[in-house]
Structure formats: C-alpha cells, structure tokens
Amino acid sequence: MDGLQIAMILFIILESLNVIILYKFPNSTKGNGVGVFTAYEKSKCDPEVHDFIKYLINWVAGTKLIFILILVVVVITGSIITKIFSLVALILSISTFFWKLYPVIKRMDESGSLSIKGYSKTLGTMIAFFLGFFIVALVAFLYKIYF
C-alpha cells in the first residue's frame, strides 16, 4: 500500500463518518452535522423550509457517498496515474471550500448564526490541515517515483 492509497483511505473513512452523521444524526454538531447552524432549529418552525433543508442535507450526504464509492474504486483498481490525478482532483475540489463556503460560514460565525463560537476558524483550520496532508502525500509520492 502506497502513500496515495493511505491518504485516500483516510479520506474515505472520514467522509464515510460524515455521511453517517448526515443521514442518521443531521442535528449533530460533530462532523458535517448541521446542528451547529442555529437556522436548522429555526427551520423546524416552518415545515416547508425544514423539508427543504432535510432534502439538501440528504443531497449532500448522497453526493459525498458518490465520491466515496468512486474513490474506493480508484484505491482498489486505479493505476498509479489514476491515483495521482484523483488526489489532485481531491485537493482542487476541497480547496473550493475557501473560495465559496468559508466566506459564508465566517460571516455566519461573526453574526452569531452558529451555536459554537469560532466554528468557522476551527473548520477552516481542519480543512487546511487535510489539504496540507494530501499535498504532502502527493509530493512525497511523486518524489519517491521520480528521485
């Protein structure tokens, strides 16, 4: 088992736990649970809005599941080049958090819309750590191949 496979397997495990949280415990404040958003509880007062939010939560979980299962196939059957490009794709796609999601969650954090103060910084740091981990794994793997 190489470093790319280890990085991908760790991502698969982490994201699988997030899918379980989203499907079974969506109001959790752990992982990707939406309990940290005060709007989640408020949405329960409006059944139409709450159903829409539940739909989006399940849509996110389903989308994560698609990526997890594709990554499982890559880990099991992918060539070295497929694994390299898959990790590059993971790095690029996860990086979009800082472009699209971080500004929104930071604004929500600053306005008191999150039940855990400073959650946006914690989440941003955690995602930056994972990106760094994937980049180090990729660079180390490429170094091992070419040098």
Domain definitions of the chain by residue range: 3-142
Mean pLDDT confidence for 54-82: 97
Instruction: State the amino acid at position 47 in one-letter form.
Output: P
CA 136 to chain CA centroid, Å, is 18
At 77 the pLDDT is: 96
At 102 the pLDDT is: 97
Confidence of residue 122 (pLDDT cuts 50, 70, 90): very high
Q: List the one residue out of 70, 67, 71 whose CA is nearest residue 4.
A: 71
At 63 the pLDDT is: 97
Mean pLDDT confidence for 81-106: 96
Burial of 4 (0-12, 13-18, 19+ CB in 10 A): buried
CB 86, CB 134: distance < 8 Å: no
Residues 6+ apart with CB under 8 A from 99: none
At 26 the pLDDT is: 97
pLDDT above 90 covers a percentage of the chain that reads: 96
Mean pLDDT confidence for 104-127: 97
Neighbours of 19 (CB within 10 A): 19
For 53-62, what is each residue's pLDDT tens digit?
999 999 999 9
The CA-atom distances, in angstroms, between 42 and each of 72, 95, 110, 122 are 37, 30, 18, 24
Residue 24's SS3 state is: helix
For 5-61, what is each residue's pLDDT tens digit?
999 999 999 999 999 999 999 999 999 999 999 999 999 999 999 999 999 999 999
At 147 the pLDDT is: 87
At 118 the pLDDT is: 96
Confidence of residue 1 (pLDDT cuts 50, 70, 90): confident
If you ran DSSP here, which 8-state letter would residue 34 be given?
Answer: G
Q: Which residue has the tokens 């996860």?
A: 94
- CA torsion through residues 104, 41, 31, 91, sign: negative
pLDDT higher than 90, residue 125:
yes
- Residue 112 gets the label, from left (phi > 0), alpha (psi -120 to 50) or beta, of left
